[in-house]
Chains A and B, each alone.
Chain A
Amino acid sequence: MQRYWFGDVDDRGQCIPAPADTASLASRIASLATDMHTFVPLSVDTAIACGIANDREEYLRRLRNVCIARAEAEIALYYSQSDMELLQMVRMLDEMDTVVNLLTERATEWYIVRNPGFSRKYRAISAKKMVGIIKRDRSVSLSRIAQEIDRVSAARTALMRDVSARAEQIAPNSSALVGGLVAARLIAKAGGLGALARLPASTVQVIGAQNALFSHLRTRSPPPKHGIIFQHRRVHNAPKQRRGRVARVLAGKLVIAARLDYFRKEAVPAFIASAQERIDRAGEEP
């Protein structure tokens, strides 16, 4: 028997039509498990004989409707995954960082040309303070640009809080170990929580250090000890000779946390406590 989207056709050419509304035909296609070894491609004549349509034109119209409905449903399902929006948020956050830095640097250069006596040396002027100084410049365009930079920075800070909160919601275990922001960055780099949960710990340890990793593989330069997880305080606060170990232990616990997040979808306090204790110990052991 051959099973097609419009119905089943048995060996004698007898056709059993399927329920003919678009929604049930669309879900029917997903349920058909076709064996390609015995499969015979459909012919539109058979479909018309089966009563799905009166002619080729009508057949195509109906098939198109079913296929479009099915594709729309699958796209909606794909985008409704809890981490899809988080991915875009993290990428936007990184992009905004880049933009704010670029604009600040350029505005500073411009400001220095207008104020030849100005120097940042010995004054500990942070980028943020610098934008404040530029804002008071007499050039209207320059000061308006500085105001704009301020506004983008504010939007960036708000987005960062959103990202953190969202990560804590969809990945409570990972967020408990490394904080929402680092967890979100890891998820984004892996391409989703499901992808992160399927990675080995050794990969998670060096995610975000691709350049160093491939240069190591190519030229035998020293391997990277850490990638994104360096941003977590327990890695970057550890003494240099112990950072590698902390990063390794942390990555090991992180993949377990990611799997709990993905498959169990809830915080597991017992695991978090024991993992925290183990990671702290890695930073203290001689």
Chain B
Amino acid sequence: MIRIDGVLVSPGEGGVYGERMLGGYRVWDPYRSKLAALYQKSGGPEITPGMTVLYLGAANGTTVSHVADYAGTVYAVEYAPRPMQDLLEVARRRKNVVPILGDATAPAGYAPVVETVDLLYQDVAQPDQAGILLKNAVFLKTGGTAVLMLKTRSVDIRRDPSDIHAETVEMLVAGGFDVIDSCWLEPYHRDHAALVCTRTPPPAP
């Protein structure tokens, strides 16, 4: 990840959403993007040009555009037609983004177009976020990394975020993931946690 004087940036064509430029690089604002907040807080996985990424919950393509600056190929899945219009505009200008109008809770809808990926990134406002990650784990290469941006308020508004966090970690571990890093995204995003996971290789037969 490239930093200029401690400011996270990404290389690529600017002007996507009015982001600031710094020495020819696009400033990646942790207050706008949860992934940038993760990099600011605790590092997060490096994204390299050789990597393919499956991005669930692409929304308007703000974070997607930064990920695409670093990654080789980004498969960006979004469910709602309105933000998809913006995402399509991003995909028209960035040749390594494959926009998919699909439902992350039903991967069968986009399974025929997505290859296996090195990084599975999920940022969806749904109750069953761990379940969605597990359903999509089929696309993750062995040794790949999954990043879950846990929106605890979408899981249950009435429960304590840290309980939801613990429960989610438990579900991921039961589903065969190792949670190698987890951090809250305060002060950039409230009640959001980032869970960085790798998949435990299946036991040798």
Interface set of A (CB-CB < 8 Å, partner B):
3-5, 29, 32-36, 39, 41-44, 60-61, 63-64, 66-68, 70-72, 74-75, 78-79
Q: Is the CB of A71 within 8 A of B88?
A: yes
Q: What separation, in Å, do the CA atoms of A33 and B100 have in the docked complex?
A: 16
By secondary structure, the A interface counts as helix
Q: Is the CB of B101 within 8 A of A71?
A: yes
Q: Least Cβ distance of A230 to chain B in Å? A: 29
Q: What separation, in Å, do the CA atoms of A72 and B85 have in the docked complex?
A: 8
Q: Is the CB of B91 within 8 A of A68?
A: yes
**Hey, which chain A residues are within 8 Å of B111, CB to CB?**
34, 36, 39, 41
Q: Which 5 residue pairs are nearest across A and B when measured between Cβ atoms?
A: A34-B108, A71-B101, A34-B111, A78-B81, A41-B116
Smallest Cβ-Cβ distance to A44: which chain B residue: B115
Q: What separation, in Å, do the CA atoms of A86 and B125 have in the docked complex?
A: 27
Of A61, A71, A78, most buried by chain B (CB within 10 Å of CB) is A71
Q: Is B153 an interface residue (CB 8 A)?
A: no
Q: A5-B113, A68-B91, A68-B99 are in contact. Are A35 and B108 (CB under 8 A)?
A: yes
Of A3, A32, A64, most buried by chain B (CB within 10 Å of CB) is A64
**Hey, which chain B residues are within 8 Å of A44, CB to CB?**
115
Q: Is the CB of A36 within 8 A of B100?
A: no
Interface residues on B, range: 20 to 34
Q: Least Cβ distance of A267 to chain B in Å? A: 30
Q: Mark B66-101, 1 if CB is under 8 A from A, else 0.
A: 000000010000000100110010011001111111
Q: A39-B138, A43-B115 are in contact. Are A63 and B108 (CB under 8 A)?
A: no
Q: Is the CB of A61 within 8 A of B95?
A: yes
User: How many residue pairs, one in A and one in B, have C-beta atoms under 8 Å apart?
Assistant: 72
Q: Is B184 an interface residue (CB 8 A)?
A: no
Residue A74 contacts which of B81, B92, B113, B139 (CB distance < 8 angstroms)? B81
Q: Is the CB of B101 within 8 A of A70?
A: yes
Interface set of B (CB-CB < 8 Å, partner A):
73, 81, 84-85, 88, 91-92, 95-101, 107-109, 111-116, 135, 138-139
Q: Is the CB of A41 within 8 A of B91?
A: no
Q: Is the CB of A68 within 8 A of B112?
A: no
**Hey, which chain A residues are within 8 Å of B96, CB to CB?**
60
Of B73, B108, B111, most buried by chain A (CB within 10 Å of CB) is B111
**Hey, which chain A residues are within 8 Å of B81, CB to CB?**
74-75, 78-79
Smallest Cβ-Cβ distance to A36: which chain B residue: B108
Q: Least Cβ distance of A78 to chain B in Å? A: 4
With A4-B113, A36-B135, A43-B116 known, 8 other A-B pairs at CB within 8 A are A5-B113, A29-B112, A60-B95, A67-B113, A70-B101, A71-B99, A74-B101, A75-B88
Q: A60-B73, A71-B88, A75-B101 are in contact. Are A32 and B112 (CB under 8 A)?
A: yes
Smallest Cβ-Cβ distance to A66: which chain B residue: B113
Q: Least Cβ distance of B135 to chain A in Å? A: 7
**Hey, which chain A residues are within 8 Å of B101, CB to CB?**
70-71, 74-75
Q: A36-B135, A36-B138 are in contact. Are A67 and B100 (CB under 8 A)?
A: yes
Q: Least Cβ distance of B103 to chain A in Å? A: 12
Smallest Cβ-Cβ distance to A57: which chain B residue: B95
Q: What separation, in Å, do the CA atoms of A233 and B81 have in the docked complex?
A: 37
Of B95, B108, B112, most buried by chain A (CB within 10 Å of CB) is B112
Q: What separation, in Å, do the CA atoms of A78 and B109 have in the docked complex?
A: 17
Q: List 8 A-B contacts (CB under 8 A).
A: A41-B111, A44-B115, A68-B92, A68-B99, A71-B100, A71-B101, A75-B81, A75-B101
